Amino acid sequence: MSAPTGPVALLFAIMDHDFDRVVLSDEAVVGIDAEWLRVDSGEDQLATAHDIADWAEISLGQAIALPNHMSFDFDLDDEVTENEFKDRMRHEFDKLDKNDDKQLIRSELVLEPPVRPVGRAFGGQDSWGSDRSKGGGGPGGRGGGRTAVAVAVKDQAADSMGLMASLQTF
Q: Which of 41, 45, 83, 99 binds Ca ion (CB under 5 A)?
A: 99
Of 77 and 155, the one with the shorter C-beta distance to Ca ion is: 77
User: Among residue numbers 104 through 123, which ones bind Ca ion (CB under 5 A)?
Assistant: none
What residues from 69 to 98 belong to the interface with Ca ion (CB under 5 A)?
73, 75, 77, 97
Count residues binding Ca ion (CB under 5 A). Answer: 11
Least distance in angstroms from the C-beta of 94 to Ca ion: 10
For Ca ion, the closer CB: 20 or 126: 20
Give the SS3 label for residue 47.
Answer: strand
Q: Whole-angstrom Cα distance, residue 84 to residue 54?
A: 17
Rounded to whole angstroms, the Cα distance separating 79 from 88 reads 14
- Residues in Cβ contact with 112 at an 8 Å cutoff, skipping those fewer than 6 apart: 2, 4, 5
DSSP 116-151: PPSS-GGGHHHHHHHHHHHGGG-SSTTHHHHHHHHH
By CB under 5 A, what part of segment 4-63 binds Ca ion? 16, 18, 20, 22
Of residues 123-162, which lie at the interface with Ca ion (CB under 5 A)? none
Q: Does 101 bind Ca ion (CB under 5 A)?
A: yes
Q: Are 137 and 143 a contacting pair, CB within 8 Å?
A: yes
- Using CB under 5 A, list all residues that contact Ca ion: 16, 18, 20, 22, 73, 75, 77, 97, 99, 101, 103
